[in-house]
C-alpha cells in the first residue's frame, strides 16, 4: 500500500532556497545541505543564521534527493 503523504503535506516549494538565498532554478549542493544539517543553531551559513526549521528543511531535501 502506497501512502501519498508528501502530496498531502503543507510544504512550501522553494522555501529552503529563499531561506538560504539560492535561486530557484539552481540545485542546492549536497555540501551546503550537510553543513546546515550539522551546524549549531544560530551559526551563519552563506550569510544566513541556521534555525531549527532550516535544519528540518535541509534534512528533508537530503532525504528526498535521488541517490
Query: Residue 65: which pLDDT band, with cuts at 50, 70 and 90?
Result: confident
CB 10 within 8 A of CB 42: no
Q: What's residue 1's pLDDT?
A: 53
Average pLDDT, the chain: 87
Query: Residue 55: which pLDDT band, with cuts at 50, 70 and 90?
Result: very high
Instruction: Determine what percent of the chain is predicted with pLDDT higher than 70.
Output: 90
Q: What is the DSSP letter of 1?
A: -
63 to each of 35, 42, 44, how far by Cα in Å?
15, 23, 23
Cβ contacts of 20 within 8 Å, gap of 6 or more: 28, 32, 36, 45, 46, 48, 54
Query: Residue 62: which pLDDT band, with cuts at 50, 70 and 90?
Result: very high
Amino acid at each position: 500500500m502506497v501512502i501519498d503523504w508528501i502530496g498531502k503535506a503543507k510544504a512550501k516549494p522553494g522555501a529552503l532556497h529563499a531561506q538560504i538565498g539560492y535561486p530557484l532554478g539552481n540545485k542546492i549542493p549536497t555540501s551546503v545541505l550537510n553543513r546546515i544539517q550539522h551546524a549549531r543553531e544560530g551559526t551563519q551559513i552563506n550569510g544566513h543564521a541556521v534555525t531549527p526549521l532550516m535544519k528540518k528543511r535541509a534534512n528533508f531535501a537530503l532525504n528526498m534527493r535521488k541517490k
